Structure 1
């Protein structure tokens, strides 16, 4: 069977877990974006969070008669 040529190159990068600072990379990434892009991403994430269908809480409760409480 003939192998297909990849359209995208595989990219990997090895980093040391003790030396790697993901928070600094994340901060640098977001600071490189324009305020409009950052606001669009925040708006998208908020909409994703709130777009879930709200369902009624179907927790079952047992009523206890006041005479049963000691």
Structure 2
């Protein structure tokens, strides 16, 4: 994972050994638990940035050509 770099993309980001934050705008983000079925947090953001905590081993789905970045927890 690249940290502290804004990017624009859709996709699934696999869980990692370390926790992180995802900050995003202009799109939708869903944080899924390790079992892949349960959802920890999800939501839309427009011009105002929004951040979700991503615990270790949890997945992120990024949709809507979202602009986002990961930062270390």
Scaled by the length of structure 1, what TM-score is found?
0.14
Q: Is the strand fraction higher in 1 or 2?
A: 2
Q: Relative to total residues, which structure has the larger helix share, 1 or 2?
A: 1
Larger RCO, structures 1/2 (Cα 8 Å, 6+ apart): 2
